[in-house]
Amino acid sequence: MNLYGSEKIRKMTSSIFQEVVDRKQAAVLKGKDVIDLSIGSPDFPPPSFVVDTLVEYSKDPERYGYTLKGISEFNEAVKYFYQQRYGVELDDENEVLQLMGSQDGLAHLATAIIDPGDYVLVPDPGYPIYEASVTIAGGLIHPMPLLAENKFLPKLNEIPENVLHKTKMMVLSYPGNPVTALADHSFFEEVIQFAKLHNILVVHDFAYSELIYDGNPQISFMSVPGAKEVGVEFNSLSKTFNMAGCRIGYVVGNRQVIDILASFKSHIDYGIFYPIQMAAVAALTSDYSFLQDQVRQYESRRDALVLGLRNSGWQVANSPATMFVWAKIPAGWKSRDFAFELIEQEGIAVVPGDAFGNQGEGYVRIAMVQPPERLTEAAERVNRFMLEHSL
Is pLDDT of 21 > 70? Answer: yes
Note the pLDDT tens digit of each residue in 114-142. Answer: 999 999 999 999 999 999 999 999 999 99
| CA diameter of the chain | 64
Say how far apart CA 389 and CA 391 lie, in whole Å: 5
The answer to whether the CB of 353 falls within 8 A of the CB of 335 is yes
Question: Once rounded to an integer, what is the mean pLDDT over residues 251-257?
Answer: 98
Q: How confident is the model at residue 7 (pLDDT cuts 50, 70, 90)?
A: confident
Query: What is the pLDDT at residue 39?
Result: 87
Say how far apart CA 5 and CA 29 lie, in whole Å: 32
* 188 in the same domain as 83: yes
Query: What is the pLDDT at residue 14?
Result: 59
* 279 in the same domain as 293: no
Q: What is the CATH number of the domain that holds 341?
A: 3.90.1150.10
Note the pLDDT tens digit of each residue in 336-362. Answer: 999 999 999 999 999 999 999 999 999
* 206 in the same domain as 95: yes
Is pLDDT of 299 > 80? Answer: yes
* 340 in the same domain as 243: no
Q: Which residues make beta-bridge pairs with 143? A: 122
Q: Of the candidates 238, 260, 284, which is a domain's last residue? A: 284
Which helix (H) or strand (E) element contains residue 72? helix 72-86
Q: What is the CATH number of the domain that holds 274?
A: 3.40.640.10
Q: Of 132, 156, 130, 161, nearest to 145 (Cα)?
A: 156
* 352 in the same domain as 265: no
Question: Once rounded to an integer, what is the mean pLDDT over residues 230-253?
Answer: 97
Residue 56 lies in a domain: no
Q: Which amino acid is at 292?
A: Q
CA distances (Å), origin 343, targets 26, 27, 30, 247, 385? 9, 7, 11, 30, 10
User: Is the backbone peptide bond immediately before 330 cis, with ω within 30 degrees of 0?
Assistant: no
Residue 52 lies in a domain: no
Q: Of the candidates 249, 284, 319, which is a domain's last residue? A: 284
Query: What is the pLDDT at residue 5?
Result: 83
Residue 31 lies in a domain: yes
Residue 1 lies in a domain: no
* 353 in the same domain as 243: no
Is pLDDT of 13 > 70? Answer: no
Q: Which amino acid is at 267?
A: H
* 300 in the same domain as 271: no
Residue 53 lies in a domain: no
* 230 in the same domain as 85: yes
Across 118-127, 198-207, 381-390, least confident range: 381-390
* 114 in the same domain as 29: no
The answer to whether the CB of 344 falls within 8 A of the CB of 27 is yes
- Give the HSE-up count for residue 265: Cα atoms under 13 Å, Cβ half-sphere: 26
Mean pLDDT across the chain, nearest whole number? 95
Note the pLDDT tens digit of each residue in 46-78. Answer: 999 999 999 999 999 999 999 999 999 999 999
Q: Of the candidates 265, 284, 303, which is a domain's last residue? A: 284
Say how far apart CA 42 and CA 241 lie, in whole Å: 9
Question: Once rounded to an integer, what is the mean pLDDT over residues 155-183?
Answer: 97
Q: How confident is the model at residue 183 (pLDDT cuts 50, 70, 90)?
A: very high
Say how far apart CA 315 and CA 321 lie, in whole Å: 18
CA distances (Å), origin 7, targets 131, 138, 299? 15, 10, 44
Q: Of 385, 348, 351, nearest to 365 (Cα)?
A: 351
Residue 57 lies in a domain: no
Is pLDDT of 197 > 80? Answer: yes
Domain hosting 232: range is 62-284
Which helix (H) or strand (E) element contains residue 55? helix 48-58
Number of domains in the chain: 2
Q: Of 311, 302, 326, 306, nearest to 383 (Cα)?
A: 311
Residue 261 lies in a domain: yes
Note the pLDDT tens digit of each residue in 186-196. Answer: 999 999 999 99
Is pLDDT of 176 > 80? Answer: yes
φ/ψ (deg, to 5) at 129: -65, -25
φ/ψ (deg, to 5) at 5: -65, 165
List the Cα angle 356/264/117 in 5-degree steps: 55
Residue 50 lies in a domain: no
* 95 in the same domain as 213: yes
Is pLDDT of 12 > 80? Answer: no
* 38 in the same domain as 105: no
* 256 in the same domain as 166: yes
